[in-house]
Amino acid sequence: MTDQETFLSDASALLGPRGFTRDPDLLEPWLTDWRGRFTGKALALCSPASTQETAELVKLCARHGVPIVPQGGNSGMSGGATPDGSGEAILLSLRRMDAIRDFDPAARQITCEAGLVLQNLHDAAQEHRLRFPLTLGGKGSATVGGLISTNAGGTQVLRHGTMRAQVLGLEAVMADGSVLDTLIPLKKDNRGFDLKQLLIGSEGTLGIVTAGTLALVPEIAERRVVWVGVTSLQQARKLLLHCEATAGDALEGFEVVPAHSLAAVLDHLPDARAPLAEPHAWNALIELVASPSEAAQLGALCEDLLASAMEEGLLEDAVIAASETQAEAFWQLRDSIAPAERAIGPAMQHDISVPVARMADFVEAASPQVEERFPGTRAIAFGHLGDGNVHFHVLAPSGATRGLWENSEGKAISAFVYDLVTEWGGSISAEHGIGQIKRDELGRLGDPSALALMRAIKHALDPRGLLNPGKLVPLAQDPAIP
Amino acid sequence: MTDQETFLSDASALLGPRGFTRDPDLLEPWLTDWRGRFTGKALALCSPASTQETAELVKLCARHGVPIVPQGGNSGMSGGATPDGSGEAILLSLRRMDAIRDFDPAARQITCEAGLVLQNLHDAAQEHRLRFPLTLGGKGSATVGGLISTNAGGTQVLRHGTMRAQVLGLEAVMADGSVLDTLIPLKKDNRGFDLKQLLIGSEGTLGIVTAGTLALVPEIAERRVVWVGVTSLQQARKLLLHCEATAGDALEGFEVVPAHSLAAVLDHLPDARAPLAEPHAWNALIELVASPSEAAQLGALCEDLLASAMEEGLLEDAVIAASETQAEAFWQLRDSIAPAERAIGPAMQHDISVPVARMADFVEAASPQVEERFPGTRAIAFGHLGDGNVHFHVLAPSGATRGLWENSEGKAISAFVYDLVTEWGGSISAEHGIGQIKRDELGRLGDPSALALMRAIKHALDPRGLLNPGKLVPLAQDPAIP
């Protein structure tokens, strides 16, 4: 037997028929990322049933020098879970490990395995009148392990933070097959480096997250969803500050939608209606929430907030959703922007952040710069103003050919946008991560000191480079740099 | 000139007379930790005025192989800022770097240098009707850099988290003199490993924190401080859950004080009075706070909370402080436990945590075990029940000789307590860090996988071991382990 055959035979014996396959039909759905940007090959699809099996598999891989690409729900945005084209790596699916190991509703803590799907986590929390305060479009497929490994964001970051803020502890299999276990929910623990923080957001390049202990919050007893028309992003920013000062922790979300995006959504969704009578240059979608103990005051809080905002000239018009159905309809408008714009034509999408205080200035300055430099394009920014994170999309000139344009002018546009963001002190990846798609840009634009540290840490924890090779960590430009 | 003379001459030229001294009288106060446990020697006291100077100094040290012991206010609890006795290291004081570089009250963010004293940070925030939600006994000397490097805790962790939760960004000089700058306050940034998290709590062993961007919260407009008598720690735990469910985010602190400690404090402070008419086996000190927008409801919330707790049998008696003076007096009782017990006789102090849900069980089980194993001792637990973190003190048998007992029976007691805590899945350092005092115990009791990772990271970022040598990271037992 060749070395590879020995590995495959051992892996197959370790994982059994449910945990190991080389059947091309079974592999195929997992070899392309869900945005369809990357397709790779894999030696086998390995789906261990336990942390122990995962650790044994990683040891096998270490022994035979087999690279490992960990994968959760395969709904990442940056190709971080798609293997390269060499076919040398195994695809390590965590989806079979989806147990809830422990649930302490009084302490509001849940320990679950990496493969648990976000929607199922939401459901489990809800059964105990709790909630997991992170959600995103892919909640039906995204897994806890993937959410941790990518430090996922979403629409509730303003109030609750990203995934990092929800992770109380985690379990991970390291490159040598040893298991790091910090699952135990200690609120305070100062025994040295906080190793879990290093794994959160490391996209499987330092270790494979197999379980997490997560914080839950009380269920929402009452919410108010408000659609507001404003004159400019600057006004939206002032309204946001007003909401933060007035509503405090009740402010759960603050999203902005430009007129162009709302119009695109209304075209795209036949049954959708504009919330306000007149169009406005910008719209804000505001959600206020209250736990059971604060529910009684929420209505008054919301009305006072809007009245005082109106008085101070911070909005043009506003409507409070009259029912849960209408509230959902408002959110659907927001959540349909990306598909609505995809329907119009090709677009380059940039998930960027700048300091919250500078976001309005940035959008106002960058949009005309892009449109001028690339005639016929249109720059659209929408999303999480409260987090300083907008999705900055550049729509192709009419007539551009989908599939071709993205790889020609589109690439130049992205580089231009990332240059601008870097100039403004921002991040080229606010929430989607680096994966394959932004690795080289990170190498080009990243702070050299931070890049050197990342390379040193990667080398220290995965000296043979077997964990998710080619993702996140840009290769050193200068081989003298570690 | 010898190599050391060259280094000293270059360092002196770099830092100038204000930044460099070898005067024993000037060095002396900084060579002993404030608890008086450790005394060391230093080659020189270096006090750079800027990050640039710090970076140049670190490069000089790297060139000449001179170890560096960073120090803030020298009020740490674990000897982490005290050099060893060799006299080979420089003491690097960050105290001259105490500027506030940037303050954005609307965004509630402040960027300040490492040497800024916590009290001055509190004052700066207060001028803008904001507050920095972390405080501790040493606030008059503790510096921002030290608080970050030790991931400090305190009495407000229940609501706001430890220092880690307040740090939005930081600047640090790494072992090679390069500067890592993540000061820019991006709320969302997924460009790879979160390097700042690695520096927070690393006690100067991976890099020297020179500045931080910190989050502020709205000022407290109203507070209620309540002293409660309960029958047991179990009842206190139930009361805590009741407070969390009823008061939500208004719950700012929940400390527990046993009868013995309250009696000791009343003996120790001549003017202090017991808050309640009768003694109780345990006491809880509860603080509820409200920002300006919620201030009007706080009084009713507090009264409802106590009434329902009384109805459900969760307390024996309670009194709400009638004035700010009385509120301060309640807190003084809590803050005087350590000195009051030191006045009685020697004691071994253990800053430990276990999962919050198990804390009452732990104290009830461990106290008699310690007292039985070490006859004549008395085990006392007090502190942050809401964080699962109590200070577990073991008082010496009467007649024990201060200074001798700690190093004989005291050592055995600490090892026994740390064994118990580890058995219960807890931490031997909840908030005070490892420093010198617990390094060997961490090596003995730490998870081998976590220890191996810590050593690998330390070696990767500080290959020559010049940053705060001998602190935090236990040496490998087995030289084969990295």
Structure tokens at B427: 């931490």
- Find the farthest-apart pair of alpha carbons in chain A and give their distance in angstroms, rounded: 80
* Complex-level ipTM: 0.93
Task: Give me the sign of the Cα torsion angle B42, B48, B54, B56.
Answer: negative
pLDDT for position B118: 98
pLDDT for position A479: 42
**Short-list B84, B62, B170, B11, CA closest to B463:** B62
Tell me if A162 and B188 make a contact (CB, 8 A cut-off): yes
Q: Across the interface, which of A197, A245, A452 has its CB nearest the CB of B197? A: A197
pLDDT for position B379: 96
pLDDT for position A481: 39
Residues of B in contact with A195 (CB under 8 A): 450, 453-454
User: What is the arithmetic mean of pLDDT over A110-118?
Assistant: 98
**Short-list B428, B311, B186, B466, CA closest to A192:** B428
Give A312: exposed, middle or buried? Use CB within 10 Å, 0-12, 13-18, 19+.
exposed
User: What is the arithmetic mean of pLDDT over B65-85?
Assistant: 96
Per-residue b/e over B429-446, b at no fewer than 16 CB within 10 Å?
bbbbbbbbbbbebbeebb
Q: CA nearest B104 in A: which residue?
A: A357
pLDDT for position B161: 92
pLDDT for position A301: 93
Structure tokens at A272: 């959708």
Residues in CB range of B478: below 8 A, 6 or more apart: none
pLDDT for position A476: 55
pLDDT for position B150: 97
pLDDT for position B91: 98
DSSP-derived letter for residue B428 is S
**pLDDT tens for each residue of B307-364:** 999 999 999 999 999 999 999 999 999 989 988 988 889 999 999 999 888 899 999 9
Q: Which 3 state secondary structure label does DSSP give B379?
A: strand
**Short-list A329, A332, A339, CA closest to A391:** A339
Q: Under a CB-based contact definition with an 8 Å cutoff, are residues A160 and A249 in contact? A: no
Radius of gyration of chain A (CA): 23
- Average pLDDT of chain B is 94
As beta bridge partners, residue A339 has none
User: What is the arithmetic mean of pLDDT over A126-151?
Assistant: 95
Name the helix (H) or strand (E) containing B350.
strand B347-353
pLDDT for position A377: 97
Chain B closest CA to A303's CA: distance in Å?
Answer: 14
Looking at chain A, the whole-number percentage of residues with pLDDT higher than 90 is 85
Residues of B in contact with A153 (CB under 8 A): 188, 190
Return the CATH class of domain B3-93: alpha beta
pLDDT band at B162 (very low <50, low <70, confident <90, very high): very high
Domain limits of chain B?
3-93, 100-218, 222-337, 345-423
Looking at chain A, the whole-number percentage of residues with pLDDT higher than 70 is 98
Chain B closest CA to A402's CA: distance in Å?
Answer: 28
pLDDT band at B478 (very low <50, low <70, confident <90, very high): very low
Q: CA nearest B427 in A: which residue?
A: A189
Q: In what order do the strands lie in the sheet with A109-113?
A: A100-104, A109-113, A207-215, A167-174, A179-181
Return the CATH class of domain A345-423: alpha beta
Structure tokens at A402: 């989908």
Structure tokens at A28: 């195929």
**pLDDT tens for each residue of A389-446:** 889 999 999 999 998 999 999 999 999 999 999 999 999 999 999 999 999 999 999 9
Q: Under a CB-based contact definition with an 8 Å cutoff, are residues A96 and A183 in contact? A: no
Give the dihedral of Cα atoms B142, B148, B149, B151; nearest 10 deg: 100
Q: What are phi and psi of A100, to 5 degrees?
A: -90, 115
**pLDDT tens for each residue of A339-383:** 898 888 999 999 999 988 889 999 999 999 999 999 999 999 999
Q: Across the interface, which of A201, A246, A452 has its CB nearest the CB of B190? A: A201
**pLDDT tens for each residue of B168-186:** 999 999 999 999 999 988 8
Indicate the length of chain B as a whole number: 482
First to last CA, chain B: 37
Q: Under a CB-based contact definition with an 8 Å cutoff, are residues B218 and B129 in contact? A: yes
Q: Is the pLDDT of residue A480 over 60?
A: no
Say yes or no: domain B100-218 is CATH 3.40.50.300: no
Chosen for mutation from B188, B350, B389 (greatest number of chain A CBs closer than 10 Å) is B188
User: What is the arithmetic mean of pLDDT over A181-207?
Assistant: 94
**pLDDT tens for each residue of A200-243:** 999 999 999 999 999 999 899 999 999 999 999 999 999 999 99
**pLDDT tens for each residue of A6-55:** 999 999 999 999 999 999 999 999 999 988 889 999 999 999 999 999 99
**pLDDT tens for each residue of A255-285:** 999 999 999 999 999 999 999 999 999 999 9
User: What is the arithmetic mean of pLDDT over B69-83?
Assistant: 96
Chain A closest CA to B80's CA: distance in Å?
Answer: 12
Q: Across the interface, which of B180, B249, B434 has its CB nearest the CB of A249? A: B249
Q: Which 3 state secondary structure label does DSSP give A6?
A: helix
Looking at chain B, the whole-number percentage of residues with pLDDT higher than 90 is 86
Taking the C-alpha atoms of residue B332 and residue B275, their distance in angstroms, rounded to an integer, is 12
Name the helix (H) or strand (E) containing B255.
strand B251-258
Q: What are phi and psi of A369, to 5 degrees?
A: -65, -45
- Average pLDDT of chain A is 94
Q: Which 3 state secondary structure label does DSSP give A164?
A: helix
User: What is the arithmetic mean of pLDDT over A71-94?
Assistant: 96
pLDDT for position B476: 55
Taking the C-alpha atoms of residue A232 and residue A252, their distance in angstroms, rounded to an integer, is 22
Q: Is the pLDDT of residue B410 over 90?
A: yes
**pLDDT tens for each residue of B416-443:** 999 999 999 999 999 999 999 999 999 9
pLDDT for position A393: 95
pLDDT band at B446 (very low <50, low <70, confident <90, very high): very high
Q: What is the SS3 assignment for B15-62?
A: HHHHHEECCHHHHHHHCECCCCCCECCCCCEECCCCHHHHHHHHHHHH
Taking the C-alpha atoms of residue B411 and residue B414, their distance in angstroms, rounded to an integer, is 5
Strand A222-230 versus strand A282-290 pairing type: antiparallel
Q: Is the pLDDT of residue B444 over 50?
A: yes
Q: Do domains A222-337 and A345-423 have the same CATH topology?
A: yes
Chosen for mutation from A188, A308, A390 (greatest number of chain B CBs closer than 10 Å) is A188
Structure tokens at A387: 């987090």
Amino acid sitting at position B467: L
Residues of B in contact with A288 (CB under 8 A): none
Q: Where are the alpha helices (DSSP H) in A24-162?
A: 24-27, 51-64, 118-127, 144-149, 157-160
Per-residue b/e over B457-476, b at no fewer than 16 CB within 10 Å?
bbbbbbeebbbbbbbbbbee
Out of 3.30.420.40, 3.90.1150.10, 3.40.50.1820, 3.30.70.2190, which CATH number does the structure's domain B222-337 have? 3.30.70.2190
Q: Under a CB-based contact definition with an 8 Å cutoff, are residues A178 and A73 in contact? A: no
Q: Is the pLDDT of residue A386 over 90?
A: no
